Structure 1
Amino acid sequence: MIDERDRKLLALLQQDGSMAVGELADRVNLSLSACSRRIQRLEEAGYIAKRIVVLDRERMGVPTTVFAMIKTAHHSDEWIEAFRRAISDIPEIVEAHRLTGNYDYIVKVVLPRVEHYDVVYKQIVRKVELFDVSASISMEILKSGTAVPVDYAE
């Protein structure tokens, strides 16, 4: 069970994972040691999955985003595992989701330029058979982030 201080700590850590424990303690009105223990408890309980650094995509040379909607005629566990392996080997694919509805999967691909999408597409189709792929280029990012709401945690 987590309380409001835990939720505030989690929200602060999502904003800046490198924030010093002393500053976190001040912001949630705890002693340094109590704050440190809470963070450790939240990590051990699995509320904090990992700590990462978010890189600037422009500076990293991958400013273009393409969303590929994928249909497959195959739904066996073996095909799904082969697809999972195929996309996990492609660093430009930063997210993949299995869907309900008209498409089976959506993958988010970050690229140096839109023409590079063909390279990624060919890497996938060499490894797994697809029925249909429809790609859309993101024109503008309206909202992006990794933070999740903290109010629902129990």
Structure 2
Amino acid sequence: MNQAIPVLDLIDRKIVAVLMEDATTPIAQIADRVGLSQTPCWKRIQKLEAAGVIERRVAIANGALLGFGLTVFVGIEAPDHSTEWRDTFTRAVDRLPEVMEAWRMAGEIDYLLRVAVPDMAAYDRFYKTLTDSVAIKNLTSQFAMERMRHTTAYPVNTRDR
């Protein structure tokens, strides 16, 4: 079920942009940057959270410095498209903390996973655990050599339309 997209005015979009850049920005600074006083700014942030526009505020960690030096993009082709298989696959993926992202795709692959592991041996263990947990028609692993760009901030329009 698709969630209705809330209508955001310029101030809402500016607030979201500031928080996507740095969620630890003090409310006084956010208010100043968007041209509001603190209380109305805080109320808007609460409304954006209640509407689901702001899902959560997190710290973005450096995976390599935490010991996760290998990023693998795993393409999965399902043996069938039944509800039973999808549910089994979802449960298997949910039990694997190495899976940073999981996407159901259109095109040649059915699912795409972004997996973070320390090294090839850890990926091999991940691979065996996944393939022992659920039937897979085909699995393709692509190993990232260099992250050239990464952002979690959407390019929201912070200008009058």
Give the distance between the partners of 1:116 and 1:52, measured in 2 at CA: 26
2:66 pairs, out of 56, 60, 73, with 60
Give the distance between the partners of 2:139 and 2:51, measured in 1 at CA: 40
Q: Does 1:99 align with 2:105?
A: yes
Give the distance between the partners of 1:107 and 1:45, measured in 2 at CA: 28
1:142 pairs, out of 141, 145, 148, with 148
SS of corresponding position for 2:36: coil
1:132 deviates by 1.1
In the alignment, structure 1 segments of 5+ residues that lack a partner are none
- Greater CA deviation, 97-106 or 86-95? 97-106
1:21 deviates by 0.2
1:121 pairs, out of 101, 124, 127, with 127
In structure 1, the partner of 2:25 is 19
Q: How many residue pairs get matched? A: 152
Once the two structures are superposed, residues 90-148 of structure 1 have per-residue CA deviations (whole angstroms, 9 ceiling, x without a partner) of: 11110111112221111110111123211111111111011111101001111112212
1:75 deviates by 1.0
In structure 1, the partner of 2:80 is 74
In the alignment, structure 2 segments of 5+ residues that lack a partner are 1-6
Give the distance between the partners of 1:103 and 1:21, measured in 2 at CA: 44
Letter of the 1:119 partner, please give it. Answer: R
Once the two structures are superposed, residues 17-70 of structure 1 have per-residue CA deviations (whole angstroms, 9 ceiling, x without a partner) of: 111101101111110111111111111122111111111112211021011111
Give the distance between the partners of 2:24 and 2:38, measured in 1 at CA: 15
TM-score (norm 2): 0.89
Give the distance between the partners of 1:44 and 1:104, measured in 2 at CA: 32
Q: CA RMSD in A?
A: 1.4
The answer as to whether partners of 1:96 and 1:105 remain within 8 angstroms in 2 is yes
